[in-house]
Structure 1
């Protein structure tokens, strides 16, 4: 299936914004949704809307089968060993917070270390700040190279036998850096630490196998991978999840409730209190079917080509600074001298081009870059080189406009 055929499956792309054809370059914030996903969610609500795990009637059974079927699709998609290792959450943020609140607080002590990087999303910083405060642990940062990459030598020097948790993003949402997670996990495990991976920016764009990476926890969101908002996944090794206590209590996650004591269901349901995100899980399952049909290798190759083309074309604009390494995932973050990124994004929007502007929920990284904000264009399977040409043309207009004004 070529890009033109793919785009026809995304109805939102067939529109004009401010009188111009929509050029959507903000998939790192959220991806657009194809018809198979939209139809799967619509079909659930139209045909078999019911709660799961509770009733024996036909609709309940069908809903449960679809919900648990989506869990199996996730398991296969990321190469987990068992469905027990797949926890449905509201998203990456909730998944990381679950690990921090349950595993982190129970296993980290005063004098222990938690190691992260400067390129982390706030969702993979703040939970560990809180664990450190509550336990008396020390939060440490792996230094970055000038191009925004990590050297394994620096990981070796930062991670020590006192390190209990290493939390790292697989792909930076600002720099596009693809981190050597497998090698980082080897170093962490050699020192007795567990590894938590933020996979929000990697899972939609490349093949992921959690057993090959040998990470202990892996979190990602459905809405960045053609799925609906409000659904995410926490993968955890079964032996670790078995040891952990739930952080939400109520219906669905209990086995027996007495007046003064209760017991929990087995994995994975002990972490899914309350009515789960049924439609979201079904939509995520449909998104996985869609991505597998397109092919993750094809998606990764397409985005790599777009990113390299964007780097080449943006380099022709004087006064434009690009952040991050040459070899990167499918996004480009930049600034134009003398123009605030919010102004850049506003002018681009007038041309029908959607990009992200701001600190991208990565303020420590902005400080490391010595900027307050940046603009970011991010690509996905439905983007084209012609859209990058439109971006470059609009950025040249933006530069000319602000040069004229000031």
Structure 2
């Protein structure tokens, strides 16, 4: 059925049509398993993954980029605003493009929820079982007014969470995706190496951010995800905080966390450095953080569960007496792909079975007041025999 679908291949389409047909076929199988009549996709990542659609205004609080409606029979319709109609034509393979317009030009429906409802009604699915991105890891890309109106239209439909089905598909990367992942990881490690060697006393966190960002673009990135860069006693525990104007001084642990994007895929690693020699305690804690990460890596292979990976690391930490300093107990990593943070995660209790083709970031971390925040993060591909390291950058503390 999917093979018979005609797919355009405009010049900005990121993958061959055959790749999108594989994704669509897998989604249709999941829809059949869960008796879904249709799926409505609204997020940047999912619309791009299934249709190739690209637009620069996903972060806008005004623009309403698009959504994709996929039926159980494999029919795909894109619904978007008038100003985005030409971008649809050059980035997505989808033939059926429905444009809404507040001014009603070309007899268009004047708002997004009415346009979505019109598509579902004409397909006879407005009272069906419809999957949406309502669960863990997703936020429906629609303002409250539009969402409420759409739900009013669909009051006779059964709305269910399509998230688990989508995550199952996105978790296993194709050969083409793996090639993209390897490329972006290579960009990341080269940029980290260049930037780490540029650090000097008095350099601010923001100056370091600019240096690593420049390097990422120099080596081929087309975007840079916000990086976590912090140094100094008062900054160590401020996880996920953006870089500041604070100067970096001798003896301070310097943490860099994050990575670039390239062709829609991301890398996310952590490396640490220090200006001058570390104290014995800093070296001890850093070396143990690396050992904890490596313990998790040793256990990873197809067939084990994500929860068991976390449990192995947690038990290793406790067995060596470092539990007091362990910041990531119960959660030591996440998947990565078209989002920098994806499901599934290495979380205690998870029964998710690791499979070949999954890509993860693993990152156990430790903190001791006055000494520093310690840890590395690696990106790995699950293979038939274990894993392949995608970020082969030295794990030693960078002593500058």
TM superposition score category, shorter chain reference = under 0.3
Q: Does 1 or 2 have the higher relative contact order (CA < 8 Å, sep 6+)?
A: 1
TM-score relative to the length of structure 1 = 0.26
Q: Where is the helix percentage greater, Structure 1 or Structure 2?
A: 1
